[in-house]
Chains A and B, each alone.
Chain A
């Protein structure tokens, strides 16, 4: 086998016929180093696709929306049975009460309007 390898070496040598453009390796190193991301400190760990805090916020938002809907449903049921002496005034005060209640619920759940909007548009 060595004899056959020697034949090839005698015939062709073992030189490198491949060249690179002028200054290629100098540019290659600097370009590559500029491209490399900084290493994160501490041991590397797999990043979950969804962060738990956001998932928890989504559940808070869903719970808040559900509570609000239940309250409003109950409120309207009870309110529609009662005689309406001053419909316009009562309607206004009811809306204000709903808004205030929703604000309280959302404040308690620490859910922002933006997060609710994200939840409702399936952006989570």
Chain B
């Protein structure tokens, strides 16, 4: 979305008579991107669907608190990231254990909505072995090519810490591939 479109959308979101229509546009524009971000964190389509819904419901109820200090996309990414990380924490608290990377691979191999080949499965296994927040840093940088400054606003972490986290993530994934070659 270019700056003019963004400005127009934010302006309409602030006006009660246009708010609903503008929000629908927001959902259409950002839904697929946020879906990808969440799905790469939780893997399952149904869980992703629930988290995505919660993300937009929270955005709608918190719309009055959005002052336009950041880009609307950054604000949505931030809500989605919190929702996904909270979901993973809750699941961990319920089961008492982290899902093993091998279990993630087995689940993806059986998932009708996953199209990856053997190498892709191996990459997903390597990524699944990272801590949740580092995994999110990797996904946002590697797949979404998000700038560190924006990521800093999304994850409320300093740019330096994010760079270090990404560097470690890439190194771990390479080591994983070396061990499996």
Contact = CB atoms under 8 A, between A and B. Distances in A.
Which range holds the interface residue count of chain A? Answer: 20 to 34
A39 B31 contact: no
A12 B174 CA distance: 12
A1 B31 contact: no
A17 B27 contact: no
Contact of A20 (B45, B56, B174): B45
A25 B31 contact: yes
Contacts of A17: 114-116, 120, 124
A13 to B, nearest CB: 8
B32 A8 contact: no
Contacts of B177: 7-8, 11
A4 B124 CA distance: 17
Nearest to B32: A25
B20 A4 contact: no
Nearest to A5: B170
Interface in A7-49: 7-8, 11-12, 14, 16-21, 25, 28-29, 32-33, 35-36, 39, 41, 43-44
A123 B45 CA distance: 44
Interface string B33-57: 0011001100001000100110011
Contacts of A28: 27, 31, 49, 52-53
6 contacts: A7-B177, A12-B122, A12-B123, A16-B36, A18-B39, A19-B115
Interface of B: 16, 19-20, 23-24, 27-28, 31-32, 35-36, 39-40, 45, 49, 52-53, 56-57, 60, 63-64, 113-116, 119-120, 122-124, 142-143, 167, 170-171, 173-174, 177
